[in-house]
Amino acid sequence: MNLDDFSDLIERPDGGVRRDAEERRERFIVPPGALGRLDELGEWLSTAQQAAPVRTVEQPRVVLFAGDHGVAGLDVSGRAASTAHELVRATLDGSTPLAVLARRFSVPVRIVDAGLDCDPELLPEAVVRTRVRRGSGRIDVEDALTAEEAEAAVRLGIAVADEEADSGTDLVVLGDLSVGGTTAAATLIAALCGTDASVVTGRGGAGIDDLAWMRKCAAIRDALRRARPVLGDQLELLAAVGGADLAAMTGFLLQCAVRRLPVVLDGVVGAAAALVGQRAAFRAPDWWLAGQLSGEPAQAKALDRMALNPLLDHGVIVGEGCGALLALPFVQAAAALAAELPEREPEPESAEDGADDEKDDATDDATD
């Protein structure tokens, strides 16, 4: 598998549809610009759907990729290593912020186990049946995945994207349930942006103290030494310093772009997968939307590199897809306004204009 092949499969949204959407917007009873970013969002959705007027968002879905990262064993996370399955269980039980919001917004949630480090019996078979491997390697000293596992994880993401597109999902809210995932994500972003570990190291959704931050920074620095030799091959990069969840999310994002299924990104893990995807197919970010700014410095750097402007900046750092899900009502509002706002009635022709037209006609006759 070569991720660069996606470059030939992904097309830009039709510029003609965007122009039609812009022209229609200019005819609304509300003046252009009065709705702020809602106007921009409506046009983005219209081009993503290849439809003017835009269709309202009726079947959104939250898709969460889950995995444990061996680097969490260095105490670089606010959660204990190999406990991502607890996040999965809490989400299934409806007791996480994401689960509460999804219930309130009536949005179904799908959890995909790409690399959890737990006994399969602890979770429903529908979740664990997709697992590529049990946990990912400690990226500061070893590869996260073998080459075969990295390819299997990407193919998993592709398959999930196809299933969502085929089932009628019209917008995906993408998130992750991971422990140690922000460390791997920051490493990928630092490698692809050519920056130092200290520039991209944040405190994660669970929050860490200064000593843990320094351990995290050191782990990213060591992982970067392993990442730089394989920067020319995105699949090798994911195998070296990514993880099963990150590789699956990359495949998912790329295939969503192929299938023209718009995606709302959440935090730094999704941003890292998106940045790897952009490196493989430069048109792919046209199909993605940044839901929020999470406060992670690596996420801000990745979004800037992809020219994605986050919708929200509310200080939500919990991760798990929460920030992106909070942006969903904003996106749905933009779609509804673009689809349902009435257009202005055309101005009637004045008597003076009619007289001028008759004069012009008479002049033309005299000339003939």
Q: Which long-range contacts (CB under 8 A, 24 or more apart) does 308-314 make?
A: 308/265, 308/274, 311/37, 311/41
Please check the confidence at residue 356 and state whether its pLDDT lies above 70: no
Indicate if 320 belongs to the active site: yes
Q: What CATH number does residue 263 fall under? A: 3.40.50.10210
Q: What is the mean pLDDT of residues 94-123?
A: 96
Please check the confidence at residue 350 and state whether its pLDDT lies above 60: no
Judgement on whether residues 247 and 288 belong to the same structural domain of the protein: yes
| In-domain check, residue 216 | yes
| In-domain check, residue 76 | yes
Judgement on whether residues 273 and 151 belong to the same structural domain of the protein: yes
Judgement on whether residues 84 and 151 belong to the same structural domain of the protein: yes
Which carries the bigger pLDDT value, residue 22 or residue 5?
5
Cα angle 80, 81, 82 (rounded to 5 degrees) comes to 120
Please check the confidence at residue 88 and state whether its pLDDT lies above 90: yes
Which carries the bigger pLDDT value, residue 316 or residue 120?
120
| In-domain check, residue 268 | yes
Domain hosting residue 139, numbered range: 60-330
d(CA 50, CA 277) in angstroms, rounded, equals 22
| In-domain check, residue 131 | yes
Residue among 43, 320, 352, 358 flagged as catalytic: 320
Q: What domain count does the chain have?
A: 2
Secondary structure, 3-state, the chain: CCHHHHHHHCCCCCHHHHHHHHHHHHCECCCCCCCCHHHHHHHHHHHHHCCCCCCCCCCEEEEEEEEEEHHHHHCCCCCCCCCHHHHHHHHHCCCCHHHHHHHHHCCCEEEEEEECCCCHHHCCHHHHCCCCCCCECCCCCCCCCCHHHHHHHHHHHHHHHHHHHHHCCCEEEEEEEEECHHHHHHHHHHHHHCCCHHHHCCCCCCCCCHHHHHHHHHHHHHHHHHHHHHCCCHHHHHHHHCCHHHHHHHHHHHHHHHCCCCEEECCHHHHHHHHHHHHHCCCHHHHEEECECCCCHHHHHHHHHHCCCCCECCCCCCCCCHHHHHHHHHHHHHHHHHHHCCECCCCCCCHHHHHHHHHHHHHHHHHC
Q: What is the mean pLDDT of residues 291-317?
A: 92
Which carries the bigger pLDDT value, residue 335 or residue 107?
107
Judgement on whether residues 163 and 184 belong to the same structural domain of the protein: yes
pLDDT of residue 349: 60
Judgement on whether residues 290 and 211 belong to the same structural domain of the protein: yes
d(CA 256, CA 271) in angstroms, rounded, equals 15
pLDDT digits (tens, 9 = 90+) for 220-279: 999 999 999 999 999 999 999 999 999 999 999 999 999 999 999 999 999 999 999 999
Q: What is the mean pLDDT of residues 196-205?
A: 85
Judgement on whether residues 268 and 319 belong to the same structural domain of the protein: yes
pLDDT digits (tens, 9 = 90+) for 32-41: 778 888 888 8
Q: What is the mean pLDDT of residues 59-84?
A: 95
Please check the confidence at residue 368 and state whether its pLDDT lies above 80: no
Which carries the bigger pLDDT value, residue 362 or residue 57?
57
Lowest-confidence pick of 77-81, 90-94, 143-147: 77-81
pLDDT of residue 291: 93
- Confidence band, pLDDT 50/70/90 cuts, at residue 206: low
pLDDT digits (tens, 9 = 90+) for 148-189: 999 999 999 999 999 999 999 999 999 999 999 999 999 999
pLDDT of residue 227: 97
